A and B are shown apart, each in its own frame.
Chain A
């Protein structure tokens, strides 16, 4: 019952938007060539779903590969930087500079270097996901309770054990928050990159629809992107719930 209510509340603004959209088309505020009615968009899903699915698959693969690379590199590096002060001092400015560069700004450079295809897209996604991940990992390590490190020192725990059994689990909630941000950034980047640097994926689908002047396809693409973004986010929340069970009752639900 509670779940149903949550779903209903979450969907309410979307339903309102849909109603407004319907009203706008039936009221004729825009010509239906620019703003097709919802039913037209639904028809796109009905007719082109194999095609759409293929593009979704292409985009998802890129995002997942990019995120995975970012996780493999950013999390260990972040753990080290958070642990060792001198590493933090060396890297702090560099991280601050690079993280404020929008990934989109690097698209032209990526195309120059890697041409058109999966490579530039994945590299851009990795970069976009890398910064929020490394920053939240560093933050998570730094906010470990001091006493716990003292416990480890008195017990003469080695660096590897401290990293694996104390710093990583202590930073995990923060890392997962970073992963949520990273997934968002990665998703944003993939669509943009696909508009310019690749010939498949949802970004490409939308751009192609624009050149053929098919507004209903553009909107179908946008709806798909939004839906996947929501699913991704929910998935990571679920993951956080699973692996941070020890946190329950300690912190406010996030």
Chain B
């Protein structure tokens, strides 16, 4: 039994007259503690898939199972880290991190102490009383990650969380995320359009193709961690993945 099992999940959007098939019969599974990257160009349905897993959108057809149980309203113990970090601008760092626990009815004292732990863990000690707009992009995203982890999720969904960060910050965040993942052992589904990021992070890369959104292929990344971008094997893996999505890119460029 795997943690997550998707069987022939389809989703269609209607925008006026236009019908967009966002997902066409997507099947996928993820093991306990596995790090999965959904990789693809924009429009391949990877974010839609994440929304379905989070319970934010219903699938039109197909089945989603968590630990063998079919789910309708999303995983009961999933957390999401959004691209735009989704922090509440009127709450301090501390109160933002406490929010998911508050939603679950965790008492104030426990909330505070757990929040402090996670704030320290992501390296934001001393910033508890700051507001989000007083932080850098990387720091905000760390608040988002800390908040997502406070409820000890079995499934951590991440929607291009580092997409808006500069290259250096991004690389730091990737390393930190792997550290946290190894500590907390959640299953991670991470959406990205960066091949380099996917090869650096994932146990398995799910390559998706657009219009309609389909799973094109699934590539296991066997490189040992910590991974080194200068390692020839790393470059080889990137090349392999790039080759697989090359057709899609060419198709999109109109060739």
A-side interface residues toward B, CB under 8 Å? 145, 147-148, 150-158, 161, 165-166, 169-170, 172, 244-247, 249-250
Contact = CB atoms under 8 A, between A and B. Distances in A.
A147 B133 contact: no
Contact of B55 (A154, A158, A161, A250): A154
A247 B55 CA distance: 31
A151 B86 CA distance: 7
Contact of B88 (A154, A156, A166): A166
A151 B102 contact: no
Contacts of A156: 76, 103-104
Interface stretch (B13-21, B77-85, B163-171): B77-85
Interface of B: 54-56, 74, 76, 78-80, 82, 84, 86, 88-91, 99-100, 102-104, 131, 133-134, 151
B89 A246 contact: yes
Contact of B99 (A151, A244, A250): A151
Given A150-B86, A153-B55, A154-B54, A250 B133 contact: yes
A10 B123 CA distance: 47
Main secondary structure, interface of A, reads helix
A147 B104 contact: no
B133 A157 contact: no
A247 B88 CA distance: 11
Contacts of B79: 154-155
Contact of B82 (A150, A166, A244, A247): A150
B108 to A, nearest CB: 13
Contacts of B134: 249
Contacts of B84: 145, 147
A169 B88 contact: yes
A154 B80 contact: yes
Nearest to B74: A154
B56 A150 contact: yes
B88 A150 contact: no
A151 B104 CA distance: 13
Contacts of A246: 89-91, 131, 133
A151 B82 contact: yes
B93 to A, nearest CB: 12
Contacts of A153: 55-56
Contact of A155 (B89, B90, B100, B133): B100
Nearest to A152: B103
A158 B103 CA distance: 7
A154 B74 CA distance: 8
Nearest to A249: B133
Contacts of A148: 86, 88
6 contacts: A148-B86, A150-B82, A151-B99, A165-B99, A245-B131, A249-B134
B151 to A, nearest CB: 8
Contact of A169 (B54, B56, B90, B103): B90
A59 B74 CA distance: 56
Best-buried of A148, A154, A157, A244 by chain B (most CB within 10 Å): A154
A145 B83 CA distance: 13
B228 to A, nearest CB: 34
Contacts of B102: 157, 161, 165
B90 A170 contact: yes
Contacts of A150: 54, 56, 80, 82, 86
A11 to B, nearest CB: 34
A137 to B, nearest CB: 16
Given A147-B84, A169-B88, A154 B78 contact: yes
Contacts of A161: 102-103
A244 B86 CA distance: 19
B20 to A, nearest CB: 19
Contacts of B80: 150-151, 154
Contacts of B133: 246, 249-250
A39 to B, nearest CB: 51
Nearest to B84: A147
Contacts of B90: 169-170, 172, 244, 246-247
